[in-house]
């Protein structure tokens, strides 16, 4: 693994004021345009003529492994991006007892359904200048399906509803060694609770959820990043998830991509938010003890 050169961290107050949540603000997307000259190499043709009685198997389309320049030109799958080539994800992880979490050392090529040509990339560093994390959802031979922080589509493009979580295929050999995370967060909309399981410890806390017009989305994602800002959420750490509003492009305001977070509020009862989950200081202390990449499941 090569040595990382960490980028200069953004001014946190600016990031926090602009980046948090479907309840707190956003960063503008500046994704690069895909390299339109990138083409898959042609398969090597056989010089031997097939026997008339022999069925010639279909030649698999080779996987395009992008060069460094091609990878850099792909759109970045970050929290406020919308990339149609990604996959909607409404399933669950292989296990709710542990998860394979990856902290990137290099940019990662993301492939869509056909697994032939990359459609996006995960940058090694996220918008908070920390290593980007992703979580494995499934494994199929040499491929791993990972969750991404971007959107696959917008509700306004889909008749008012869109997937809350996206995923993409990656070549398993492109991933760093995984970390095993034995923690899980479950938020129940109907019970208005957040349950934090960390090893053998299981604690449940009261939570306020989205109101009728901006409901908290259901699905499985992961804790993408966290930060604190004295001007927001009482200065308590904001827990950003990879999930997005499923019913509104920007349920709060600005351009935060409809990102859903778990954050502090005086009111931790009822349906009162723009989609985020509101909890007290005790719950946030428990959440802050979890590593980024911890899976989170939101249920009805």
- Give the tokens for residue 248: 């509104």
Predicted confidence (pLDDT) per residue in 155-168, tens digit = 999 999 999 999 99
Question: What CA–CA distance (Å, rounded) separates 211 from 202?
Answer: 27
Q: What are phi and psi of 16, to 5 degrees?
A: -65, -45
Q: What is the mean pLDDT of residues 280-284?
A: 97
Of 37-51, 75-89, 154-168, 210-224, minimum mean pLDDT range: 37-51
Cα distances from 238 to residues 129, 197, 209, 270, 275, in angstroms, run: 16, 18, 15, 20, 14
The beta strands (E) that lie in the chain are given as: 87-88, 99-103, 108-111, 118-122, 133-140, 143-148, 166-171, 179-181, 183-188, 193-198, 201-206, 209-210, 219-227, 238-244, 259-264, 271-273, 277-279, 295-299
Please state, for a pLDDT cut of 90, what percent of the chain lies above it: 73
């Amino acid at each position: 693994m090569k040595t990382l050169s960490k980028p200069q961290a953004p001014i946190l107050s600016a990031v926090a004021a602009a980046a948090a949540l479907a309840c707190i603000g956003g960063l503008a997307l500046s994704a690069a345009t895909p390299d339109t000259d990138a083409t898959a190499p042609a398969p090597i043709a056989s010089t031997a003529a097939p026997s008339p009685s022999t069925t010639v198997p279909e030649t698999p389309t080779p996987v395009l492994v992008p060069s460094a320049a091609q990878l850099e030109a792909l759109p970045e799958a970050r929290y406020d991006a919308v990339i149609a080539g990604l996959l909607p994800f409404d399933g669950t992880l292989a296990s709710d007892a542990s998860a394979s979490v990856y902290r990137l050392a290099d940019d990662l090529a993301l492939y869509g359904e056909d697994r032939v040509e990359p459609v996006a990339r995960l940058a090694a560093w996220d918008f908070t200048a920390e290593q980007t994390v992703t979580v494995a959802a499934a494994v199929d031979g040499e491929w791993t399906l990972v969750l991404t922080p971007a959107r696959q589509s917008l509700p306004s493009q889909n008749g008012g509803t869109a997937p809350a979580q996206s995923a993409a295929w990656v070549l398993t050999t492109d991933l760093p060694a995984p970390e095993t995370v034995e923690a899980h967060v479950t938020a129940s909309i109907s019970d208005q609770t957040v349950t934090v399981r960390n090893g053998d410890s299981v604690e449940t806390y009261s939570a306020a959820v989205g109101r009728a017009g901006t409901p908290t989305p259901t699905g499985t994602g992961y804790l993408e990043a966290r930060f604190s800002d004295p001007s927001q959420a009482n200065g308590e750490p904001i827990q950003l998830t990879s999930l997005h509003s499923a019913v509104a492009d920007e349920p709060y305001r600005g351009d935060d991509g409809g990102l859903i977070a778990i954050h502090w509020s005086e009111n931790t009862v009822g349906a009162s938010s723009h989609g985020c989950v509101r909890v007290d200081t005790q719950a946030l202390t428990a959440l802050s003890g979890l590593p980024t990449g911890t899976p989170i499941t939101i249920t009805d």
